Structure 1
Amino acid sequence: MITIILLVARVPPLRAPVTAPFENTSQGFAVDSNGRTVSVETTMDRRTALVIPCHNSDHEALTKVLQSAFPHFQPKDIFVVDNGRTRHPVSPEFRQFIRNISPDIHYIWSPIGSKNAAQLVGAIAAKDYEFIMTVDDDVSIPATFRPPIDKIDDITKGCAFPLKAIDTHGNSPLFMVAWQDCEYKMSGLTKLAESAICGVLYPHGAGWFCERETLIDLISNYHSIDFIAEDVNTGLSMQKMKKRIAFDASCVLETEVPTTIFGGPGLNWWNQRYRSWEMGRHGRLLAFAGRLFCGLNGQRTPQGIFAQKFIHLYSIATIIVDWIRIPVFVTMGPSPRFWLLGGLLTLAAVLPILAFKYINARNRPDLQPRFWAAVTYPVYKQLYAFVSIFGAIRSVLFYIGGHCRPKTIKKMISDEDPNAFWLDSRFDSNPAFLADEGEALLGPAPPSWWNGGKEMRDVASIV
């Protein structure tokens, strides 16, 4: 299978980067890297808005995200959707932080604790745009980014991107971060092959590009808005809509990842995979089966139909294999010979990564994983074998235990739920009206001299 993927996937050349952030974009012009004043229309595609859903965001991380966005988006093109489970923000601090970066950035408070609902709110608020680029609040947009509008047609309505795993300093140190980078690079290679045959089945949750009306329809009528496996649910929803997702490998999104396995500051790798990713993947078993046996999911060619069905079948097989591992480890685990043979077999995981690094991506250093990370990748694969098993067990216990799924957007609208605040007549003219109400309830705004920290002054100087 990996051999087929390596033969099918065609890595495009690296695109020329935007060399410097634009200045004075709010005045309708920009200053390029040579100091020349040019029209904003010649440097930016005005049809795309940037939507950033966030919750309890780290200010420094979001500052980096916005710094990476300013070469491609004017502040007025950016919609930061802060979400929680209260009617109003508990504090005006975060909104003031955004204001200090640029008063032209749209800040919106959403009372629905859901990333996908926040994406919907941002897309509805961006009513003057045709396309939405949405990224998490820890994802940097590369200098090579261009809105992949050329990939959109009557069937293809979205576009996914490859990811690079980094730490808070923007590096990919050995071992955990670099191993996750290998994982993302191989996932990107698979999506590149999918794009060429049947379309990408699932975009990365960290960021993707979509036609605005399609994104609104997807989240309003198809998506569960459950955070668990939300990227898989996005792909399944697109398939139900009989739409396709392309892949743009010409630029790579950088996303911060856990740096420790079990402990340390911030989110650790074990909790991320065990409590969310792997549990969510196993929870989608029936959904994979539904897409396998029900409908063609918009595919129109024999190779597209076969490839997509095969991928769904493979997803089901990996879930079954995780359950088979349990009796295998229990019965054969005490044998040293089992671990010796198993360790030798896992060395095969090195071959596709090295082939990708030195053959497919030989002209793309931004896509190449680190050599020592690739060589030691089997260690990571063994760790993942264990986390997959525990994720499978947790999935059964979690869903049998009565996991309460959030209301879908369709259900909220039919129930006339007050949290569907975009239906309020005030939203059309002021999407931030809930944040305004919250500030009024909390009292006077912070004094004008409050600057929120050095990192905001740095970003403000760019804007």
Structure 2
Amino acid sequence: MTLKKGAALAFVCSCIAALVISNWFTGWMGKAIAQTRSYMLPVLVIVLTLEPLMFLIILSIARVPPYNPPKTHSPSVVRETVNEKNPSDLERGVVAAVAEAWETAFVIPCHNSDREALRKVIESAYPHFRPQDIFIIDNGRSRHPQDLSFRHWLKKLHPDIVYIWSPIGSKNAAQLVGSLAAKNYKYILTTDDDVSLPENYRHPIHLMNGHLRAVAFPLAGTDAEGNIPLGMVSWQDCEYRMAGLVKLAEDPTCGVNFPHGAGWFVDRDIFVELLSKYHPMDFIAEDANAGFSIMRLGKGIAFDAQVTLATEVPATVLGPGLNWCKQRIKSWEMGRHSLIWKIMRHLFRMNGQRTIQGVLMQKGLFLYVLACLVIDWVRIPVLVALGAHKEYWIFFFSLAFVACIPPLLYNYLSCWHRPDMRIGLATIATYPVYKQLYSFVSVFGAVRWALFYIGGHVRAKPIRKMLKDGDEACFWLDPRFETNPAWLADEKEKMVADELAMRDVGST
């Protein structure tokens, strides 16, 4: 235990002791609990209905567009594609149908990736990308990859897929490395290693202009087989679709504030600049940090409601591997609470907004996020003060089911003409169970955030700091990167070959 962590733990213990001792002499806790009970109904109304009320406002603004499939393109583009693909690819339908086909690179950060899931992602990309347009950025905290089998497996999938090893254990650093390696491309599509592209995907360049230099997509949650069974998977799918509705409302007013971290489309030069100058390298709240970085550049994010990316979500609450509680407590909720000061700073900035409606919409959403963070802390004393009273639970369960109203309206008003975007009725009926489970987990995430950062968490150095310090992990500064971005992996290949040669010599 470090001195700072010990001091933080001692501070927390002293605060608890002060509360206990002061209550012993004054009895203030009993008085506070009695006062809280007198405001039971208003407190419950605020805690349980703030989000549904916000979504009712969003529903009045957002307009789900009718499905508009991508247009066909000129035969010349198809002829070019045919010349570049081999016959087996053509038999599988691997023909891109976009005029800007080869201006976009597909960057996929990987770390101990599930190979079957990644294979599905790569195969879903083939209709839209050539193999040489796909950049797999393997990353970890060692100078060279510990195991070359992943690289060899990728070569078996297709020898033209670009594999790069990054010695910085960070998804965002991997995105930077991939973008730097894709120097001959104008745009970057980046997704997680479990996000497959839909058949109707097309590069959303038509949504970009001088101000809008990135595009966000709605998400759908699925299990490993691509299905949406009732329960944790369908509830998270509902959560993602409601988050997409917020972005749909943001799009015509203030622009999308934060892209989904699972996948977005961005101008390459902008991506390199925001990652190297502003974006932190901690794998926490990456979506919000990307949005704030875009704002600092004075640019905006558009929204493509026609293309939905499917991402694999945790199927269990406390199961093996990456379960839902581990994902939310250790990453998402910690990240959400770590943003409180950043949100407050941006609350008093223009953030690239140019219209009154844009300013009002963005500030309103920021205030809503801050209110949700405060409510996470309010839940603790409310539960302590009221948890032993049956009236509390009667009010609680009566109000909890208002969480059904926004998804129901989304289904049959917003998505009346888009049955492909609707949510199952059984999911909507049971969604309040998920929301209360989420509120419980969010409290643990808030507490862990406070203890984690007060306890002396050392944040990963941002790229600008690494460049300033001349950190050797910035391997792209080496002249070899210009012609061979995978030179670190090649070094490992040579080391292994030399070691095998030495063994052969020693055995003879």
**TM-score calculated relative to the size of structure 2:** 0.83
Which of the pair is proportionally richer in helix?
A: 2
Counterpart of 1:273?
Answer: 328
Counterpart of 1:290?
Answer: 345
How far, CA to CA, are the matches of 1:55 and 1:262 in structure 2?
Answer: 22
SS of the equivalent of 2:481 reads: coil
SS of the equivalent of 1:443 reads: helix
Distance change in 2, residues 1:55/1:335 (3 Å) = same
Within the alignment, does 1:8 sit opposite 2:64 as a pair?
no
Within the alignment, does 1:46 sit opposite 2:46 as a pair?
no
Query: 1:92, 1:445 within 8 Å by CA — same for their partners in 2?
Result: no
How far, CA to CA, are the matches of 1:41 and 1:17 in structure 2?
Answer: 9
Distance change in 2, residues 1:89/1:37 (3 Å) = closer
Query: 2:70, 2:202 within 8 Å by CA — same for their partners in 1?
Result: no
Q: Aligned pairs, how many?
A: 442
Within the alignment, does 1:387 sit opposite 2:441 as a pair?
yes
How far, CA to CA, are the matches of 2:437 and 2:93 in structure 1?
Answer: 53
Amino acid at match of 1:211: D
SS of the equivalent of 1:223 reads: coil
SS of the equivalent of 2:492 reads: helix
Within the alignment, does 1:182 sit opposite 2:238 as a pair?
yes
> Identity of paired residues, percent?
52
How far, CA to CA, are the matches of 1:387 and 1:34 in structure 2?
Answer: 48
Distance change in 2, residues 1:389/1:38 (3 Å) = closer
How far, CA to CA, are the matches of 1:445 and 1:13 in structure 2?
Answer: 60
The correspondence for 2:494, drawn from 437, 440, 447, is: 440
Within the alignment, does 1:164 sit opposite 2:164 as a pair?
no
Query: 1:31, 1:37 within 8 Å by CA — same for their partners in 2?
Result: no
How far, CA to CA, are the matches of 1:35 and 1:220 in structure 2?
Answer: 41
CA displacement, residues 330-353 of structure 1 (integer Å, 9 cap, x when unaligned): 110111221221111121111110
Within the alignment, does 1:80 sit opposite 2:121 as a pair?
no
How far, CA to CA, are the matches of 2:447 and 2:374 in structure 1?
Answer: 12
Within the alignment, does 1:28 sit opposite 2:87 as a pair?
no
Counterpart of 1:304?
Answer: 358
CA displacement, residues 77-134 of structure 1 (integer Å, 9 cap, x when unaligned): 1100000000000111000111011111100000000000000000011111100000
Within the alignment, does 1:146 sit opposite 2:202 as a pair?
yes
CA displacement, residues 148-176 of structure 1 (integer Å, 9 cap, x when unaligned): 10111111111111111000111011100
Query: 1:28, 1:39 within 8 Å by CA — same for their partners in 2?
Result: no
Query: 1:15, 1:251 within 8 Å by CA — same for their partners in 2?
Result: no
CA displacement, residues 350-393 of structure 1 (integer Å, 9 cap, x when unaligned): 11101111221123233212211111100001001111111110
Counterpart of 1:449?
Answer: none
The correspondence for 2:125, drawn from 62, 69, 72, is: 69
Query: 1:439, 1:445 within 8 Å by CA — same for their partners in 2?
Result: no
Query: 2:81, 2:95 within 8 Å by CA — same for their partners in 1?
Result: no
Query: 1:14, 1:251 within 8 Å by CA — same for their partners in 2?
Result: no
**Structure 1: runs of 5 or more not aligned:** 447-463
How far, CA to CA, are the matches of 1:278 and 1:36 in structure 2?
Answer: 42
SS of the equivalent of 1:376 reads: helix
Cα RMSD (Å): 2.4
Runs of 4+ in 1 over 6 A off after TM superposition: 30-39
